[in-house]
Amino acid sequence: MKIHAIPPVTPPTQARPPSFSSQEFRTALGMFATGVTIVTARSADGQVIGLTANSFNSVSLAPPLVLWSLSQLAGSMAVFRTGSHYAINILARDQMPLAERFAARGVDRWAGVGFTEGMGGAPLLDGAAATFECFNRSRYEEGDHVIFVGEVERCSWRPGASPLLFHGGRYFTEHPL
């Protein structure tokens, strides 16, 4: 019986170019339903900063880690890149107007918004379904975004609160059937 050696497989060193357009990619990503968050912080000069994000995920239970990402072109990038703390506020279903306001440009995002001060001065939004107060543990530049990993120092949630959802480019206050 003759034994044939199988040559080793050499894995590719980089990905092939995408076979789809940016719009097709965005549409496919939109099929993943997510919650909606507002990530908040306080700048070194005391300004409150916040933005709507749905790129939030748990990473680890021990230590408690979460992640989110931000476009490298975001005006608030310097605050998040250099600050020691931020808060992730998971929005409740009745907070859709807040999600839209914090996603808009050229508006006063904080006008009339109630919050308490969390660790490092990061605003904790009144009425949020849950909040995570994070130490800005690490950052990773990937593509056109920076991935932030936060070590959760304190968290809270509102019993009975239902989250605001985002799917297919739209907000939902109940699960889309």
User: Which residues are registered as beta bridge partners of 7?
Assistant: none
Question: Of the candidates 66, 115, 132, 125, which has an alpha carbon nearest to the alpha carbon of residue 91?
Answer: 125
Q: What is the pLDDT of residue 117?
A: 97
Q: What mean pLDDT comes out for the span 105-115? A: 95
Does any domain span residue 95?
A: yes
- Which region among 46-55, 81-90, 130-139, 165-174 has the lowest average model confidence (pLDDT)? 165-174
Provide the CATH number for the domain around residue 50: 2.30.110.10
Q: What is the mean pLDDT of the chain?
A: 93
Residue 76 confidence class, pLDDT cut points 50, 70, 90 = very high
Does any domain span residue 164?
A: yes
Q: How many domains is the chain built from?
A: 1
Residue 149 CA to its chain's centroid (Å): 10
Taking the C-alpha atoms of residue 132 and residue 60, their distance in angstroms, rounded to an integer, is 14
Q: What mean pLDDT comes out for the span 27-40? A: 92
- Residue 34 near residue 165 (C-beta atoms within 8 A): yes
| Domain with 49 in it | 32-168
Q: Above 90 in pLDDT, residue 177? A: no
